[in-house]
Structure 1
């Protein structure tokens, strides 16, 4: 599913114009990005929680030469689905 598909679903469900739906979607995504970039987590009831985690530097190897290298510390985005989402994904029909 693409951004355009999501916007189209918003149009269908709310009756908003495509331009209004696109603007709402863009504002939502920008707010999520800004919140996560500031280090806060985002919890959406019934869906899940997005959070930024710190990864420590670690030792690795260059796959071509086998030479040991140090991989820098970095931030990664993680998502933990809610129980409601887990149950809906595994629902038996």
Structure 2
């Protein structure tokens, strides 16, 4: 499902214009990205949490040059689904 699919589906379900729904979805994503960039987690009860994970410094390999390199500590965005969401997906999704 793409962002366009989500906008169309929400517009059809709510009766709100697609342009307004698109602006709302864009604003939501902008605010989530901004919060995560500022180091703040976003919690959506019953859906999940957008969190910032810290990765420790580690040693990696550049195979083409046969060298060890240091990968510095950094933060990455992650999504952790709510327990009810996970259970819903487990029971309802049929594997093809």
TM-score with structure 2 length normalisation? 0.88
In the TM superposition, what are the counterparts of 1:1-93 in structure 2 within 5 Å?
Answer: 1-91=1-91
Deviation track 1:11-51 (CA, whole Å, cap 9, x = no partner) reads 01110001111111111111111111111111111111111
Moved over 3 A (4+): none
SS in structure 1 of the partner of residue 5 of structure 2: helix
Q: Which runs of 5+ in 2 are unaligned?
A: none
Q: Which runs of 5+ in 1 are unaligned?
A: none
CA distance in 2, matches of 1:76, 1:11: 32
TM-score with structure 1 length normalisation? 0.91
Deviation track 1:55-84 (CA, whole Å, cap 9, x = no partner) reads 122111112232111112221112111111
Aligned CA RMSD, in angstroms, stands at 1.4
Cα distance, 1:87 vs structure 2 = 0.8
